[in-house]
Amino acid sequence: MTRISKEFIHEGRYCAEIQVELIEDDTAWSPYLSPAEVRKLEAAREALRRGDLAEAAQYGRVFELTPVAAE
């Protein structure tokens, strides 16, 4: 059985929201990611690290983080 979830990858001043498929079964490791889903997350992380937003956007939504002053 599988279900869709969202993972957030944060690198520097960027964040990406990546949709992944979690595998659920009767083992103690459940839920877990397939190797293909892990590669997708790592590819998005590397793209953000390099500042390649176009490539990162191929995997999900990309956000630029802006610091705010607390009052």
Give residue 27's pLDDT: 86
d(C-alpha 9, C-alpha 69), whole Å: 23
Query: H or E element: which one contains 50?
Result: helix 35-50
- pLDDT in single tens digits along all 71 residues of the chain: 999 999 999 999 999 999 999 999 998 889 999 999 999 999 999 999 999 999 999 999 999 999 999 87
Q: What pLDDT is attached to residue 6?
A: 97
CB 40 within 8 A of CB 20: yes
Phi, psi (rounded to 5 degrees) for 55: -70, -40
Give CA torsion, residues 12, 18, 21, 27, to 10 deg. 20
